[in-house]
Amino acid sequence: KEGGAKERIPRGVYHTENPEDPVGRILHALRVARETEPARKRINDAIRKSDPDELQDIEMLLGHQREELLDWAQERDLLDDSERQKVSEAMAAMYDTIRVDAFSKESIEALAQDSIGRLELVERPKAEDEPTN
């Protein structure tokens, strides 16, 4: 069931499902997310039931590392090849709609390394009604 989101999102604006168009990007992501919901639910259920040690080396929560997650899912027979392709497309589309600033793990590590000794801790001012220790 589509619900009202698909009608409310583009109300009053030109829209298409072309992923290159800003509104189209959202509508495309909504469509492929709905189409792949059963497969993505199987993956999420398997993650919840997995041993945390089994998942420790999989950085699957970062959107740009989704192929590692899909490899993991296929190794457990949660997806066949055609489902994998569709889920990969859906995950890419959903990630693309929510990302604002996306940085690779290496870029974040480099920024952290470069900031050593340059950052100063700024204390949050206490509110007038906040007790002092």
Note down pLDDT in tens along the chain; length 133 residues.
Answer: 556 766 776 677 676 778 788 888 888 898 999 999 999 999 989 988 888 777 665 555 555 578 888 998 999 999 999 999 999 999 989 888 887 666 677 877 887 888 888 767 777 777 676 666 5
Alpha helices, H only, the chain:
5-8, 22-35, 37-49, 52-55, 66-75, 81-98, 105-115
Output the pLDDT for position 89. 93
pLDDT reported for residue 25: 86
**pLDDT digits 0-9 by tens, 41-65:** 999 899 888 887 776 655 555 555 7
Nearest to 28 by CA among 10, 42, 40: 10
pTM: 0.62
- Confidence (pLDDT) at 104: 73
Q: Nearest-CA neighbor of 97 among 3, 9, 38?
A: 9
Distance, in Å, from the CA atom of 3 to the CA atom of 18, rounded to the nearest integer, reads: 21
Question: Given this model, what pLDDT does residue 3 score?
Answer: 61
Tokens 């997806």 -> residue: 79
**What is the rounded distance in angstroms from the CA atom of residue 23 to the CA atom of residue 26?**
5
Helix (H, G, I), strand (E, B) or coil at 35: helix
Which among 41, 27, 90, 81 is positioned nearest to 63, based on CA atoms? Answer: 90
